[in-house]
């Protein structure tokens, strides 16, 4: 589920649509979380679908480490990549704003952790890596994990309008309890995607 202070906007012909903030979303806020309504599709199912359906699923979903596709049921599927993403993923549990996101800012995330095939990036960031591939994780996971660590203390201090919608299983609940200091398990790392 995506943070409610967001809306879909047309960006341009090459990018298509993107998701933009309609209110300030403070650093430390969960901007998306995996919920019980997201659609999980096994890879052999997707590969055998007609190309028209298969290509859209590949475009709008992300992949779990087991290869399954997760198709968000809401606008989260339209979040674009940036090489300087303002939301970093906590594994497949959710994504946290690593800096304040202001009204009209585009919400973006890091695609190298979820894509099988490299792609050419035109994100306009001064940090743009031009070609995005899963190998980027090797060079950047510590930096990306560090950005999350820097805002973890804020998670308890800012409004969390979507956290109560987190997927209802023991693992997801344990991660959230750990962030809030009520349990201690190892938090997901970007290097888990290697
Ligand atoms: Zn880029």
- 61-105 pLDDT, tens digit each: 988 878 899 999 999 999 999 999 999 999 889 999 999 999 999
3-state secondary structure of 13: coil
For ligand 1, the distance from its centroid to the CA atom of residue 126, given in whole angstroms, is 8
In tens, the pLDDT along 19-74 reads 999 999 999 999 999 999 999 999 999 999 999 999 999 989 988 878 899 999 99
Q: What is the pTM of this model?
A: 0.92
Lowest-pLDDT range, 6-15, 164-173, 179-188? 179-188
For ligand 1, the distance from its centroid to the CA atom of residue 114, given in whole angstroms, is 15
For ligand 1, the distance from its centroid to the CA atom of residue 87, given in whole angstroms, is 14
What is the Cα–Cα distance from 156 to 70, expressed in whole angstroms?
28
A 10 A CB-CB count for 123 gives: 20
The CATH number that domain 6-32+79-183 falls under is 2.170.270
For ligand 1, the distance from its centroid to the CA atom of residue 85, given in whole angstroms, is 9
Where, residue-wise, is CATH 2.170.270 in the chain? 6-32+79-183
Nearest Cα to Cα of residue 97 among 194, 6, 191: 6
For ligand 1, the distance from its centroid to the CA atom of residue 129, given in whole angstroms, is 5
Nearest Cα to Cα of residue 68 among 95, 32, 38, 23: 38
For ligand 1, the distance from its centroid to the CA atom of residue 73, given in whole angstroms, is 26
What is the Cα–Cα distance from 165 to 124, expressed in whole angstroms?
33
DSSP 135-177: THHHHHHHHHHHHHHHHHHHHTTS--TTGGGS--SHHHHHHHH
Neighbours of ion ligand 1 (CB under 5 A): 83, 121, 123, 128
3-state secondary structure of 58: helix
């Amino acid at each position: 589920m995506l943070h409610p202070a967001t809306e879909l906007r047309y960006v341009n012909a090459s990018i298509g649509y993107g998701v933009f903030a309609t209110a300030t979303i403070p650093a430390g806020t969960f901007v998306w979380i995996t919920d019980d309504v997201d659609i999980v599709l096994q890879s052999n199912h997707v590969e055998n679908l007609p190309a028209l359906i298969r290509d859209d699923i590949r475009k709008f979903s992300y992949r779990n480490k087991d290869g399954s596709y997760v198709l968000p049921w809401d606008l989260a599927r339209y979040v674009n990549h940036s090489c300087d993403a303002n939301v970093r993923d906590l594994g497949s549990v959710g994504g946290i704003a690593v800096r304040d996101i202001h009204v009209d800012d585009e919400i973006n995330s890091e695609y190298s952790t979820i894509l099988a095939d490299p792609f050419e990036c035109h994100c306009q960031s001064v940090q743009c890596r031009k070609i995005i591939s899963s190998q980027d994780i090797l060079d950047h996971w510590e930096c990306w994990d560090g950005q999350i660590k820097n805002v973890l203390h804020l998670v308890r201090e800012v409004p969390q309008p979507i956290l109560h919608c987190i997927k209802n299983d023991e693992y997801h609940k344990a991660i959230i309890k750990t962030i809030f200091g009520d349990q201690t398990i190892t938090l997901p790392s970007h290097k888990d995607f290697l």
